[in-house]
Chains A and B, each alone.
Chain A
Amino acid sequence: MKYKKMGRTGLKVSAFCLGTMTFGKQVEEAESLRIIDAAIDEGVNFLDTADMYVNGRTEQIVGKALKGRRDSIVLASKVGHTLKLGAKWGGNRDSGPIDMARPKAFTPWPGAEDIGLNDMGLSRKHIMQGVEASLKRLNTDYIDIYYAHMPDYDTPLEETLRAMDDLVRQGKVRYLACSNYRAFQLSKALWISDKYNLARFDCIQPPYNLLARDVEYELLPLCATEGVGVCVFSPMAAGFLSGKYNKDKGPIEGARFSLAHQGYVYNQKYWSEDNFDAVAKLKQIAESNGRTLAQFALAWVLSNRTVTAVVCGNTSVAQLEQNMAATEITLSEDELKACDEVWSQLRPPRLFYGR
């Protein structure tokens, strides 16, 4: 297993970070525990969870699995998820400009419809309550990396960072991080921490894969410059880059693309003609070099030196072993260039504003 420093920090994490989002739901508890065991046996020291995964069930399973070996593990969890309505100008495409004046929808995630207004977001109140609940479920007294799960436009960054800084001082959290933030929001958070001498976001968790490379224009240059770690989620485009989906056949029963809520979300994101074309081309590149597409896709993400780790979920021990092996693969210049070709078809270059 390869280990990397997380950004400028002294923390060393395995390049393979075990994602747990499906534990307790798609993957039943017994198999989840086996997967975690196998990962740790192979040298994985980095586990990623969140308070809202399967409404807390996942954290409980992770806590059970780590019993007795907590200190050798870098345990990450998240707080403050809310389900947002689409941005005004982008319709339900969540990539457009944010309308700062838009009235905010307080919508909890599916399965948590009953929770109150202060049971989500990144207010001091919810963070303090969230960490206690996570610690209890994880059955531990500290979290190594505590993520703000997504930006909360209703709460000043100062409030969020000060609350999270207090958690660091209280010994409940070691490092702070954020997920799903835009580059300008992370940049602003970094200078607020600087200005008020607070712990800063030392890691960010964005999606990044061969079919979704937008982080390369703003977010990765920021992280490279400021020494912020990058733990990437969706490195395989939610399984789409495994090549197992077939446009004509439709989603596979039980796999990520056919799950109700998430199935819909992932569908929108990847299920398109040009993504299927891209996957076909990528498969060819991978296989002509004797690699499976899944391993190729993971190795490609890790080939970017700004990336610290891939967050990768698994539904079986067999899948886990295949995925972990990908971290040892180094892609050639030719392979990387071929991937760039595919991306420039998906995202034809337009005049970019930053030089």
Chain B
Amino acid sequence: MQYRKMGRTGLKVSTYCMGVMNLGSQVSEKDSLKIIETAIEQGVNFFDAADMYVTGKAEQILGKAIKGKRDSIVLATKVGHWLKMKDNVRVEAADIDGKPTPYSPWEGGGEAGPNDMGLSRKHIMQGIEASLRRLDTDYIDLYYCHMPDYDTPLEETLRALDDLVHQGKVRYIGCSNYCAWRLCKALGVSAMHNLARFECVQPPYNLLARDIEYELMPLCASEGVGMCVYSPMAAGFLSGKYDKAKGPIEGARFAIGHLGLRYNQQYWSDSNFEAVDKLKQTASAHGRNMAQFALAWVLQHQPITSVVSGASSLAQLEQNLAATELKLSEEELRACDEVWSVLRPFRFFYGR
């Protein structure tokens, strides 16, 4: 297993970060415990949860699994998720100013009140206690803001998180799903008020979704912010196991109700299927398995700290872990760039 420093910090994490989003739902508790145990045996020290995964169940399973070996683990979880009306549709300028914000909780969190989501001081303080209880631990190593909350000033959120660091309940803070400008603003607020800063960001990044390369990645490289990327395999789409003609596979990510629909929208398109075909050709021409190729490609980018990757079986876990040891050739990387330039044709860009 390879380890990297998380941004400018002194924290060392495995390049494979085990995501637990599907533990307790797609994967039974018993299998989950075995998968986590195996990952730790193989040298994985980095685990990624969130309070809303399986409405708390995922945290409980993870807490159980790391009992007795807590201190050697870098434990990440998240607070403040809510469902936006235009979730996963690109943010338009007009969305920011004047837009009424809908308070919609995530699926299964239907009872949640207006203060049971978002990044207010009230909810953060309440969220951490609940997570600590479920994880059965007294501290979290990396505490993420799950997504931006445009209703709460960054100052309020960062001061609350800074207090958690002072209280010893959190070691580092991070954010997920933030735009580059907002992460940068947050870094400025922390610098201005001498608060703990976001030392890590968790965006999606894969061969079919490379938008972070234009703003977020250069920001993280220049400011020393770690990048743990989720969806490195485009929610399984890059495994190459899906067939447009056949439709989603029973039980797999693309066939699941609410999430299935979201992933569908994001990836299930002609152009992505064509891209996957081309990528598969490149991978097999170099004797690689497509899933491993996709993971290795992400880790090849220097500002990336880790890939957050789930596994639904031990076999899948072993396969994914092996991918972190691969190094792609220049030729392979160029072929991937070709595919991306078809998916996202060049348009005159504003930054130099």
Contact = CB atoms under 8 A, between A and B. Distances in A.
A353 B177 contact: yes
A3 interface: no
A182 B351 contact: yes
B214 A191 contact: no
B352 A84 contact: yes
A95 interface: yes
B255 interface: no
Given A100-B222, A347-B345, A353 B188 contact: no
B352 A353 contact: no
A195 B343 CA distance: 41
Contacts of B132: none
B245 interface: no
Interface residues of A, number: 63
A304 B93 contact: yes
Interface string B183-195: 1110111011000
A269 B348 contact: yes
A225 B223 CA distance: 22
A53 interface: no
Interface string A93-119: 111111010000000000000000000
Interface stretch (B10-18, B32-40, B84-92, B290-298): B84-92
B216 A184 contact: yes
A350 B231 CA distance: 13
A180 B352 CA distance: 6
Interface in B60-98: 84, 87-97
Contact of B96 (A188, A221, A270): A221
B352 to A, nearest CB: 4
Contacts of B189: 191
A351 B204 contact: yes
Contacts of A194: 188, 192
A215 B89 CA distance: 16
Interface of A: 84, 89, 93-98, 100, 150-151, 180-188, 190-192, 194-195, 206-208, 211-226, 234, 237, 269-270, 272, 274, 304-306, 346-355
8 contacts: A97-B218, A151-B351, A225-B96, A346-B345, A347-B347, A352-B211, A353-B177, A353-B211
